[in-house]
Structure 1
Amino acid sequence: NLQNPNDIGSVLVPSPEINRILKGMGHSGSRIWVVDNHHRVLAQSGSIHHADGVWADGLKEEPATTWWQRFEQDYLHPLYYKILTRPENEFIDTLHDVAAMQGTHIASALNGKPASSWRLTPDNKAVILSAAYPIWIQDKVIGAVIAEETTNGVRTLRNKSLEKLFNVILAVMLVGTVTLFFFASRISSRIRRLRDNAEQAIDAQGRITGKITYADSNDEIGDLSRSFANIVSRLSGYTDYLENMSSRLSHELRTPVAVVRSSLENLQMQPQSELSQKYLDRASEGVERLGKIITTMSEATRLEQSIQNAEAEEFDLTKVITGCMQGYQITYGESLFTLSLDKEPLNVSGAPEFIAQLLDKLINNALEFKTPQSTISVSLTKQDQHAVLTISNQGPLLPDGLVEHIFDSMVSVRSQQHQQQPHLGLGLYIVRLICDYHHGKVLAENLDDGTGVVFTVELPIK
């Protein structure tokens, strides 16, 4: 039996009225305690584990309803949270169910001074902020209210703000990338268009065949296109002058050459000493050489004019080549040529007299360059839809760097021992003109064994 009432303990029963008041004040942001002035817990509301630490509903996760929200949750958030850290909701809370609470902030509140304190959970996963405020009745503190919340709300707010910031950065980067791509594409397309115009204005042989359409824009590319157009225009005038120079020279030189020739003929009709006759013979030889040069220049000019005015007709290429080669065999001897001509008719659209002239230039070229006692091989075959004519001879090889330009005007690779006749480099130029007229192509190559040169002409078959 206990005789002294002070030895009897006390039983603390939470007040229903206080619980109702706390439930009315409770929210998802924090946990609230009410203690008396003996630090005993009178009531509790809320759970610190499920508290987001923010007194607002703006952080509640809502289900994705739009395509952007679904894209953000499925793709952007996993990327963002490789850098960001999510708040931990699972942590150890030693005060989740206690009958009495201790702390300097509670002691200060029971003394009438509000106070707060920070504490770290035992597992170091969360930081909890506790704020205590005194309860006054008639100027007497009878208890305190303690509100607790974690820093998860602040971290969540930070993550939300960084998510929006990252979204803005991605949007700016996307807009900037698209803008730069569009700008770069526009510049590159204008440069490609200028390149195509420049390439179309000049053919494979370097002749000016068109004009560059310049742009009216005031930027650097527009200025470059205008400069190109001006350059091509001036080059076109200069190349026209060069191309017509042979016809002008031949026309202008015919009269003085005729005067010199007639004067020499008149002098030869007079009695001359042996020394004077020698000089007259040299002068006559020079005049004849000059006449051949004029004839060659006139031939190229006449051929260009003839090609421009010629009308294409269908003819048998095999028959033309066979007839021409029979004439060469009669003139130079059958043993000089090795023939391999296809007997099948090869119908080609063009002018047979031009083909004969082409063959004449190539045969003369082979005769001048071939080595003594060697033969000239001539073959005509059909490959796919093309007639292929090849003329090869043993002799000096083509020099490096001139293979692609050997068919240009005024280009010759003859050495001094091959200059017995005047040459202006127009023979193979005429060959190329004739091939272009027949929509074909001509190619000069060194033989694989390094003993000579082969010329290949390809013409399309009708």
Structure 2
Amino acid sequence: MAAALFCSFLLSAVIARITVRTQMQIWWNYVDEEAYFKAVESEGPNYVADIPRPSAYEMTQSDHFVSELCDFLQTYSVLILSIAGSCGAVFLFYQNKLRKPMEELAQASKKIAENHLDFGITYENKDEMGVLCKEFERMRKQLARNNQILWRMIEEEKMLRAAIAHDIRAPLSVLKGYQEMLMEYLPSGDINMGQAMEMLSESGRQIERMDAFVEAMRKLSSLENRELTAGDISARQLEKDIQAELTILEKEYGKQCRLQALESKEEFCGDKEIILEVMENLLSNALRYGKQQITIIVKIRYAELSICVRDDGAGFREDAEKIAEAFYGQNVKDSLKHVGLGMYISRLYCEKHGGKLILENDEQGGAVVIAIFRRIA
């Protein structure tokens, strides 16, 4: 702006000087030269006589127009050139300092309105617009982070609901199996009252398990937040709990299950509900993909508990890490009934229990899954 005003004043001074000389030349054409020189000679060598301004009717139309134009330029050239210089300075300032950041901010606002946050603002000058663009970029990054957090929360809620539906299926299957057995055998007297009461007692235990599971899930915001409840677990007790469910699952799937619980006087300290849920997930997968026989091997030691489930199916066709992902399904038709959370939940619970989930193929065919739990107290 200062440079523009300086140039305007300088140029207006040059124009004023030119217009004065132009006017003098025009007016000189209408002066009596003899009288002018006599007046100058009579007054002395230092005397300067002004050239009189001729009247409008004395000058030709073109000379009068030029003379009036010179008057106008002498009066208004400073104002006109100052305004023009200021406008030019403002235009150059807009082109060099405002246009690019304003266009970037406009495009950024449009993308944010369309919920497209995978872009960046490249204007990085250290002027006021640079500071504004920097703050706008910081806002965009924070919005992107907030969106990621929101989507992660939505995915965790979705996974939690699917986990509830998945883990509650096994107790429901047991209850359904006991109900079918009672309806089939009780009227005909094929089972006695003691056996019927035992089935009802086991049904009550499954209902309590579902109650405890639903109450635990109700308090959670994600699967990772589920707290472990430590308790002593013996080999005989765990064998009895697993065998009670095998009786029903064998009938449901029409396959044979063989349980091997190695005798041990040591007791393991862990969360029995989580261990049973993992066992049910592994057994459910083995029964779906196995052909005829499923083998479950349980080993209990003081510091570690392991459950190995082996089937005679086709084995795993994918990498172990991919199989243990959430919502993974090996069989497309199978996904109509199963949401692909069994292995993911099992891996997550094993890791929460300080252990791990091992997936591999047997050399003789079939899949082998080993769930390892570490002592928690």
State the TM-score, normalized to the length of structure 1. 0.34
Larger strand percent? 1
Larger helix percent? 2
State the TM-score, normalized to the length of structure 2. 0.41
Larger Rg: 1
